Amino acid sequence: MNQKEISELRRRFRPDKSAVSRIYGCYVNASSREIISYLDESLGVLPQEEAEKYLSLLKKTLSGSLGKNLIDVVFTTHQVADSDEHRLLMALRDSQLKDGEVREAFYRTVIDALDMGEDNYLLLLVHDAYDVPYRGKDGQDQADASDQVFSYILCCICPVKSCKMELGYFPGENEFHSCAAGQVVSAPELGFLFPAFDDRAANLYNALFYSRKADQIHHEFLDAVFRTEPPMSPAEQKEAFQSALTGALEEACSLEVMQAVHGQLLEKIENHKERKEPEPLALSPQEVGSILRDCGVPEEKTAAFQAQCGEAFGGGALNPENLIDSKHFDIRTEQVTISVDPAYSFLVETRIIDGRKYLLVPAGEGVEVNGLAVELEAAVPEEDKPAEETP
């Protein structure tokens, strides 16, 4: 799926656009793995505020960045043809969630596997049938020329947290007293869409998995529900990329090389955002290898890096947004940390002065120490110092 297709489905969860008629789910005790209560409600009879809250929670399951919060899950041909996990998902979709036994089987699959720590959680399930508008060559939708219906399910899992005691105003007594708001449903921690909406049509070979924390993917959930090879989290991708750089380049992994790699990847990220391309940005290990060659890294070390990247990422494309921190460029020594705007990382230089290694940062106007403006006194070279007068 690309960003346009995700946005198209997100619009389905606006109160004025939604065609979701019923919401199902269960409230789960995380420690005992028992269902406390079930949810089976018609959105049409709920108070408007409550219905909008449910739609808002579901909509958040289609938010975030592709490749970070939103990850493609791919089924094998064998799974689609004959597997319990795919059969269960298809049964949920084809029954439009109306089969109670199928829902219960799904609930148990999730509850028996999912680890949410100490937080109880609310599992929500909805089905939607989207009459996909025909899109002409001019890119405009023609709602009256639809030729297919996209039938899908959306699931989200929301932690339920207890609120702290607060002071509240009691009008009848005209006083303030301690009060508790009870338990509150938080934003979804994870969820998924099945099947995927690829090329604006159902793709039974894919699902779209959502994780609120990009570096904390619930592998136990992925394994239980999809039984596919879990994707690398952004944190794991970054670690694998850095390991390939340091392991292959060895002594050639200099500050200048890292500045060049970081700078060129950042430029590609910014250009991709400016072009507003719906597909996520992707680079091959060979393209990153070209950056290393331009920095003067020897060919054999560049080839070693490409080989290690190919092995770590399974020959797949690299997402630059997962490989670098586009908002920070930090240089650390044992005693000092230098934080630089990534766009100006080139200002930091390395020098050897009197046999000692230094990091140099040019200081212009507006130097501050802990928010206090200071003046820098220029050091006078020894040869330019006036000779001391002999009394």
Strand, coil or helix: 216? coil
Tens-binned pLDDT, residue by residue, of the chain (391 aa): 888 999 999 999 998 888 899 999 999 999 999 999 999 999 989 899 999 999 999 999 999 888 889 999 999 999 999 999 999 999 999 999 999 999 999 999 999 999 998 889 999 999 999 999 877 665 666 666 667 899 999 999 999 987 776 777 678 777 777 666 677 889 999 999 999 999 999 999 999 999 999 888 899 999 999 998 777 778 888 888 889 888 888 888 888 888 888 888 888 888 888 888 777 788 888 888 888 888 888 899 999 988 888 888 876 778 888 888 888 889 998 888 888 888 888 888 888 888 888 888 888 788 888 888 888 876 555 565 566 655 5
Q: In Å, how far are 50, 87, 218 from 67, measured between CA atoms? A: 32, 26, 15
Q: What is the pLDDT of residue 27?
A: 95
| pLDDT for 155 | 97
DSSP string across 159-205 = EEEEPPEEEEEETTTTEEEEEE--EEE-S-SEEEEESEEETTEEETT
Q: For the segment 79-115, what is each residue's pLDDT rounded down to a tens digit?
A: 999 999 999 999 999 999 999 999 999 999 999 999 9
pLDDT at res. 384: 59
Alpha carbons 353 and 49: distance in angstroms, whole number: 67
pLDDT of residue 367: 85
Q: Is the C-alpha dihedral spanning 42, 46, 50, 52 positive or negative?
A: positive
Q: What is the pLDDT of residue 285?
A: 84
pLDDT at 383: 61
Distance from C-alpha of 335 to C-alpha of 190, rounded to nearest angstrom: 40
Looking at residue 84, what is its pLDDT? 96
pLDDT at 145: 62
- Strand segments, DSSP code E, in the chain are 22-29, 34-42, 70-74, 120-132, 134-135, 141-142, 148-162, 165-170, 175-180, 183-185, 190-194, 196-198, 201-203, 206-211, 329-332, 337-340, 349-353, 356-360, 368-369, 372-373
Rounded Cα distance between 137 and 180, Å, is 56
- Kindly report the pTM of this predicted structure: 0.79
